[in-house]
Amino acid sequence: WAQAVALLIDMSASHVELDTITYNAAVGSCNQVGQWKKAFWLLHEMSASHVASDTGTYNAAVSACEKSGEWAKAVELLMGMAARH
């Protein structure tokens, strides 16, 4: 997960246009190891960069919360998704 996030940051610094697919890959890597805080940060970065999140983005972030036992954060994400879509 750390390498995926670092690569995303490097891509952004190199002015490579990031899209939903690149962010989803990074959020998905966070999901695999339960890094819910980093997944939340990536969601925030997506929004700040005006990159659209999709169901896959939220699914991976909710799963990261589940793996960490952060059920309240998972519900927060689901409520946020419902408000945005």
38-43 long-range CB contacts below 8 Å, 24 or more apart?
Answer: 38/1, 38/5, 39/64, 39/65, 40/73, 40/77, 42/5, 42/8, 43/77
Percent of the residues in the chain that have a pLDDT greater than 90, as a whole number: 82
Buried b vs exposed e over 42-76: b needs ≥16 C-beta within 10 Å? bbebbeeeebebeeebbbbbbbbbeebebeebbee
**Percent of the residues in the chain that have a pLDDT greater than 70, as a whole number:** 98
Q: What is the pTM of this model?
A: 0.85
Q: What is the mean pLDDT of the chain?
A: 92
